[in-house]
Amino acid sequence: MTENIETTGGIRDRRAPKRARADLSDLTLIVRPPGRPQQTRAFTDAEHTEAHAYASETGATVDVLDEADHDERRQ
């Protein structure tokens, strides 16, 4: 399955991320656009405004990730 991978001369995209990295434990909000799981994004408390703007433009809602969600991921 790797025969189609170019090792040299390929196009590379090295743009810097638009937002800073966050630890998993800092993510408190999640936006899940309906019918588009690939566009799901998680946000920190500091990104509250951005989360609501993204939800508005994708027709989604902002859900709060509670401690139970974090505990399930750690197991």
Name beta bridge partners: 63: 30
1-26 confidence digits (pLDDT tens): 455 555 566 667 677 777 778 889 99
The reported pTM is 0.66
The tokens for 67 are: 């401690």
26-42 confidence digits (pLDDT tens): 999 999 999 999 999 99
The tokens for 19 are: 């937002």
So what's the pLDDT on residue 15?
A: 73
Q: What are phi and psi of 30, to 5 degrees?
A: -135, 140
